[in-house]
Structure 1
Amino acid sequence: MAYLKTSDTIIINATLTDKGRKLLSRGKFKIAKFALGDDEIDYKLYDPVEIRDTEEYQPSLLNAYSLEAYSDRLKNIQYGLNSYDASVLYLTPEELDKMGEFKHAYLLYLPVLKQNNKLDVSPTKRDFVYYVSVNDETTQKLIDSIPGFKFLQSSNLDNCKIVIESGIHMAEEKISSAEDTTPTIKHRRHGIVKKFLLDHDFFVNADNRFISTIAAIRPTSRFENFASGEAIINFETFTDIVPITLENEFPHYASYIIKGIPNLMAQYDYPAEDPADRIEYSALAGPRGAVTALNVVVDNQLKVNSTGERDFRFSKYGKIDQTPFAEIPTTKFDYLDTTIYIYGGTTNSRVQVPLRLLRFAGT
């Protein structure tokens, strides 16, 4: 369904999916419910941390073209309008009085997903992607040749992980000026948990032509700090994640569901310590809700080392005999670029993680 706006008229253009046309031909088609969305708006054009003046981003958002109606049911309403009014149960009497007759969830901020690149287990982003070594030979070549370079390893899932946080994020000056957005445990409970905005689960879409499964963390993992300044960061990994039957909008992509754990990284008062000396473990400036970590397990046929026969997918979908690293200009690699998509199970907030599957090809 889409809107078609002329000079003086707005027309709703509805296109039936294959399933809808089949029901219509049988005389059983009936509209039972509808949903609203704004897929044509790219909210990534607006960065609340970098942009200070709304006039800088309004033209990009308001002048977007309306999309035509799709017949593919998996391509419709990827960014739907959600209702969070269940959290009205936890409103204070003062908040209820402000609303008058019409009660609603009183949401000032919605959580976003943000990748954490501050931790020791976080991989290095290089050439706009995160590298994944497909076999031990490639891993050893990178370790020996590029000191300090952190990358994902398909044969060692605990060495590096993709860490995703869910919570409230905005410019630091806005955080400091708004009393309810500082990253404390109290504001986490009031602004996220009691608003029913906590992502207990996360959905992951990964291309099953290259990635055989997703490795997620155990529920016993911890991501927490204390008033003493100490922190516990323990992402325990296991590999028993199998695809679920939830369909997605990407061809060849499998869907997975992974668990989140409480994100208890909070701001405390350290009277005897210089604030500049504090170690920030979270990528979010505001209250933190949940966190998860994952790794990818590469398809076994892509793991063949340089003495074996190269899998055809490197030449069909990627590039072969490339020299992507200036530190080792004569060393050749094959690689495939792919992207995994992660969604908050409650908030539907999304983040994309670009990956480059790397195989040592020789010198």
Structure 2
Amino acid sequence: MGFLDNSGDIILDAVLTDTGRMRLAKGDGSFKIVKFALADDEINYELYNTNHASGSAYYDLEVLQTPILEAFTDNAASMKSKLISIPRTNLLYLPILKLNEVFNSAVTRHAGTKKFLIAVDDDTEDEFSVDTDGNAINGVLYGERPKQGDNFIRIDQGLDTGYELSPSRNLDSDLVETQFLVEIDNRLGQIVSKGGERAIPSFIDDDQIATYYFSLGTDGQYVMENTSKSTNTGEQTIAGPRGTMLNFKVLASIDLNTSDYLFDKLGAANTLAGKTSTSTSIKQINATVRVTGATTGYRLDIPVRFIKKQ
């Protein structure tokens, strides 16, 4: 990966991702480019200088001359900050996705690690369901028996205005996120509903990143309208008009459940407070679950850690 000099005129090149080349290689005429996206990963908008000595025509000079990333084929690394087109000019706020950790104790991250911990087998689930005093440990998801665990991940969507706009106002339809893309390393885990029902990925790319597609109306176990008008900050994380919410759990892969191979290759050893000890030995792998709004393009990376008791 490199940069293209943008101090003068440059020619931008475009390449297909690995997945795109795979589809093109089919050679059956089905490959067609029907959509494209733009991003501003390289841009630092703080370089916009309203005090430039040469006047207003030069305010954005540094921004316009920012070096541009050359095209590369790894879809997992490219275009992290996608741009969206909204023709309306009367918007003071744009919709966001936000992790809800205040609704109740079942949706909070693990206090010590600030991650959601995925217990990959039943021994690990039993060890880290409660602490040495018998108190429930928040942020630990049952990765082998998700139906039995109460903890889950919740994402809220809406206008987070600090209550400048009341939650009692309905969110305009074009600002409501109705479709979500959820990405996870398929070697490590799969997405399941709060009830433990396994979702089917829409596709798995060459890097073993599985993408799940959830829609309002058709995937009611995952996506639902947030009808709450409450201003109680102990329940809602969006301080303004609300749209939808996404709920899910993570099922550990069979490889993590039955073997230490990926833990030894990708992870590390550590200790964690559990039921029998304040320093139980574990193996762990850090990862992220990426949630992207298909309508607004807003993206949220959720830190997770797969753990296995030793």
TM-score, with normalisation over the residues of structure 2? 0.74
Deviation for aligned residue 1:334:
1.2
Q: Residue 72 of structure 1 aligns with which residue?
A: 73
CA deviations 1:306-330 (Å, max 9, x no partner) are xxxx42111111113x223399354
Q: Residue 153 of structure 1 aligns with which residue?
A: 142
Deviation for aligned residue 1:13:
2.6
Q: Residue 105 of structure 2 aligns with which residue?
A: 120
Q: For residues 288 and 330 of structure 1, what CA distance do their matches in structure 2 show?
A: 41
**Matched positions, count:** 270
Deviation for aligned residue 1:4:
3.5
Q: For residues 294 and 32 of structure 1, what CA distance do their matches in structure 2 show?
A: 31
Distance 1:300 1:110, change over 3 A: same
Q: 237-246 or 322-331, which moves further after superposition?
A: 322-331
Deviation for aligned residue 1:84:
3.3
Whether the 8 Å CA contact 1:2–1:12 is kept in 2: the answer is: no
Whether the 8 Å CA contact 1:265–1:281 is kept in 2: the answer is: no
Distance 1:62 1:338, change over 3 A: same
1:252 partnered with 2:208: yes
Q: For residues 244 and 132 of structure 2, what CA distance do their matches in structure 1 show?
A: 36
1:214 partnered with 2:191: yes
Q: How does 1:142-221 map to 2 (within 5 A)?
A: 142=128, 143-145=130-132, 147-150=135-138, 151-154=140-143, 155-157=145-147, 158-170=149-161, 172=162, 175-176=163-164, 181-184=165-168, 187-189=169-171, 192-193=172-173, 196-211=174-189, 213-216=190-193
Q: For residues 302 and 65 of structure 1, what CA distance do their matches in structure 2 show?
A: 43
Q: For residues 318 and 122 of structure 1, what CA distance do their matches in structure 2 show?
A: 25
Q: For residues 339 and 160 of structure 1, what CA distance do their matches in structure 2 show?
A: 17
Whether the 8 Å CA contact 2:146–2:196 is kept in 1: the answer is: no
Q: Residue 121 of structure 2 aligns with which residue?
A: 135
Whether the 8 Å CA contact 2:14–2:71 is kept in 1: the answer is: yes
What is the root-mean-square deviation in Å for CA atoms of aligned residues? 3.6
Q: How does 1:241-320 map to 2 (within 5 A)?
A: 241-245=199-203, 251-258=207-214, 259=219, 260-267=223-230, 278=232, 280-304=234-258, 310-320=259-269
Q: For residues 225 and 34 of structure 2, what CA distance do their matches in structure 1 show?
A: 37
Whether the 8 Å CA contact 2:132–2:274 is kept in 1: the answer is: no
Q: Residue 58 of structure 2 aligns with which residue?
A: none
TM-score, with normalisation over the residues of structure 1? 0.64
Whether the 8 Å CA contact 1:4–1:12 is kept in 2: the answer is: no
Distance 1:42 1:148, change over 3 A: farther
Q: Residue 59 of structure 2 aligns with which residue?
A: none
Q: For residues 123 and 274 of structure 2, what CA distance do their matches in structure 1 show?
A: 19
1:351 partnered with 2:300: yes
SS in 2 for 1:13: coil
1:333 partnered with 2:282: yes
SS in 2 for 1:139: helix
SS in 2 for 1:138: helix
Which consecutive unaligned segments of at least 5 residues does structure 2 have? 25-31, 47-61
Deviation for aligned residue 1:14:
2.0
Q: For residues 112 and 252 of structure 1, what CA distance do their matches in structure 2 show?
A: 28
Report percent identity of matched pairs: 24
Bigger proportion of residues as helix = 1
Distance 1:5 1:144, change over 3 A: closer
Q: For residues 216 and 62 of structure 1, what CA distance do their matches in structure 2 show?
A: 43
SS in 2 for 1:323: strand
